[in-house]
Chains A and B, each alone.
Chain A
């Protein structure tokens, strides 16, 4: 079978978990000898050659093609005046749109060029890039007839998937790694929601990274449950990491590591920290990462008078991330809505016991973890205290967690995906 896949980023040039998940999935597909044509807005040339890569920036679009005109009409409708950036809180978004409304002068400049230079980032021309990407999708679908099925990852690639389906008539699978409801809570950006809804409805089948995400697809986007299959993410490498990096402080360390945004629930971590410190002063809390809620968190920590016990590291990269996991005694992911959430699995690899919110997809696959409601700061504080003081649970978690991790393989995910493909293609054969 040959799959035409549309992604948005690919390792090593990634800014979120999407690229890593695509990489893992392709690795898994390769184990099962499935061919993948993988399209990204921009190729850097240093990607590992695991798939037949197509660089969207290098595709020449033939605007004389009549069928494209109708597509283009729909796409410009999408693009005009929708100032969109994912992963921004309401405040940052407001700032961004103010900037874009007053400073953006480049609207539609590149309509008549036949190649489009994608940034492949999540920048201010995101919507423009998304619609151009769809045209590229159409062009590739026309040029290459050698694929059986189309697979689009997340909303940025849905329009490309839809366009490819319209041109080729091949079935479309959309893969939901996250939804607008996860990123923005109830205050969704409507144009993004619209694209997500259109993608899920146009698809022949929807793949969701967790039951939690499937429920959102069903309840918020009106997709029939039988049209959605849950395929949990896996880990690329399940080996245990033993670090020689030593912690320099005598206290135990409890860590939050991730973007400091609404979706990740940082404020609940801060409140729980206060409750723990009141009971046990020999603990340090670390909030690693950056995001639009960082300053608010700093203010709150000062207000609670725990600045010498609660630390901020800013954005961590490279070895620092490993070091942070290595010196943590407990890892907490209090996400308000997390479609999957790979970070707790990284913590498990470092033998660090984890506390995760029930509102995360990873809670569906990781049994050896304490699961709490993100809003339940008392339960979170109890769990932190328990893991710090009752060594047996922590020991059990690290031993059993390592075994669980070994079962989470991308080749299993790929195998399930292949059966999904087969089911879709069966009636056509």
Chain B
């Protein structure tokens, strides 16, 4: 068996509104509804709707031989319900074909796995519940953690939750000479199988597709299938993991990204012996070749493939620690609004906006952030968090 496994991440955070010091103690609504709705609706037009309809078309045309997997964050599910119900329906139609697999993740796209097992489990359970509600009782078998963050310990926790497998990055520094194109198993609990992203081929589509300065531009389906065929014959699976917004948003329609996907299945079927599989099909068909040792967490971000996009500078660490200091008190709280905010405040994007790695001396970094600088992001987040702490303390005292 040789197979291609597509997984797309669908996520949008609840961005914070500009929240001033004067608002602390008075204004308890933190979310920038206008911006959040605009982003969802804009990306729906450019990506979610056209890409969903293209995938449906391909699944129908190839009668289920073409298939993909999605992980849809809870913050995205909530916003889709509120701002773009037509997008939700189109995802539901895809899942109803039976050829689209859904994965579980933490409900609020949180970094909780790095901090608290209890919170991590709780967020996974919430996500399971929401997926079940929205997708006709669907129950995922495979897990993906926020930003593909993985370590031996996180894998062991995921195994404990009963998942068969988990997705992560095929980071060079953990693989060494090994290939990402096999199934591996968790070093602490061999019951959990691990699928590794082939970052070269994934990023050829996700990052380099429209880059005219790239030596292999333009990327055609023939070229891509040649690369697949050039892989050592004994390597059974190529995991192509990427953000769903790659299609139409990161790579605009004008780059031809939709046509590339439209013709890729045909090229693969006619010019190679590869098939398409979903993660759970891969796990069922293949046995692990060995353990994979990941003592310190990896992710799919940046060249470093580590956590430094979200944690590491003083501002990020402080925001993160202050938030999770509240966990004990949160456990005793029933107020649904407080619990909702607790979840949304954990979304990894808030910490990403405070990243100073690409930021030097006033130059605005290219990455999409609603803030001008990481400092603005930190100040705004801390103002909101200060108000949130007051609310938690007020409820705890009762």
Contacts and interface: CB of A to CB of B under 8 A. Distances in A.
B22 A308 contact: no
B156 interface: no
27 contacts: A95-B362, A248-B22, A248-B23, A248-B25, A249-B25, A250-B25, A250-B390, A302-B314, A302-B317, A303-B318, A307-B319, A307-B378, A307-B382, A308-B322, A308-B382, A308-B385, A308-B386, A308-B389, A309-B386, A311-B24, A311-B379, A311-B382, A311-B383, A312-B21, A312-B379, A313-B22, A314-B379
Contact of A305 (B26, B318, B378): B318
B358 interface: no
From DSSP, what is the main secondary structure of chain B's interface residues? helix
Interface in A304-325: 305, 307-309, 311-314, 320, 323
B321 to A, nearest CB: 7
B316 to A, nearest CB: 8
Given A307-B385, A313-B20, 13 more contacts: A248-B25, A250-B390, A294-B375, A295-B375, A298-B315, A299-B314, A302-B378, A307-B319, A308-B382, A308-B389, A311-B21, A311-B382, A311-B383
B373 A307 contact: no
B190 to A, nearest CB: 40
Interface of A: 95, 247-250, 284, 286, 288, 294-295, 298-299, 302-303, 305, 307-309, 311-314, 320, 323
Interface in B328-384: 361-362, 373, 375, 378-379, 382-383
Nearest to B382: A307
A375 to B, nearest CB: 24
A124 to B, nearest CB: 16
Contacts of B379: 298, 311-312, 314
A284 B386 CA distance: 10
B139 to A, nearest CB: 39
Nearest to B356: A299
B25 A298 contact: no
A249 B24 CA distance: 7
A298 B319 CA distance: 12
Contacts of A95: 361-362
Most-contacted residue by chain A among B318, B321, B373 (CB, 10 A): B318
A313 B313 CA distance: 22
A307 B24 CA distance: 13
Nearest to B323: A308
Nearest to B24: A249
A309 B24 CA distance: 11
A297 to B, nearest CB: 9
From DSSP, what is the main secondary structure of chain A's interface residues? mixed
Interface of B: 20-26, 313-315, 317-319, 321-322, 361-362, 373, 375, 378-379, 382-383, 385-386, 389-390
Given A295-B373, A302-B315, A311-B383, A320 B25 contact: no
A270 to B, nearest CB: 13
A323 B378 CA distance: 23
A313 B382 CA distance: 12
B21 A302 contact: no
A311 B321 CA distance: 17
A299 B315 contact: yes
Contact of B26 (A248, A309, A313, A314): A248
A250 B389 CA distance: 12
A288 B20 CA distance: 11
A248 B27 CA distance: 9
A95 B362 CA distance: 10
Task: Please provide the 5 A-B residue pairs with the shortest distance between their CB atoms, ordered closest to farther.
Answer: A248-B25, A249-B25, A248-B26, A302-B315, A302-B314
B315 A311 contact: no
B390 A307 contact: no
Nearest to A309: B386
A64 B386 CA distance: 67
A235 B20 CA distance: 30
A286 B25 contact: no
Contact of B375 (A249, A298, A320): A298
A197 to B, nearest CB: 33
B108 to A, nearest CB: 20
Contact of B22 (A294, A299, A320): A320
Contacts of A294: 375
A250 B322 CA distance: 19
A289 B318 CA distance: 23
A401 to B, nearest CB: 25
Nearest to A298: B375
A60 B23 CA distance: 52
A305 B389 contact: no
B382 to A, nearest CB: 4
A305 B22 CA distance: 21
A380 B108 CA distance: 43
Contacts of A249: 24-25, 386, 390
Most-contacted residue by chain A among B317, B319, B378 (CB, 10 A): B378
Given A248-B24, A249-B25, A307 B318 contact: yes
A313 B321 contact: no
Nearest to A248: B25
A327 to B, nearest CB: 8
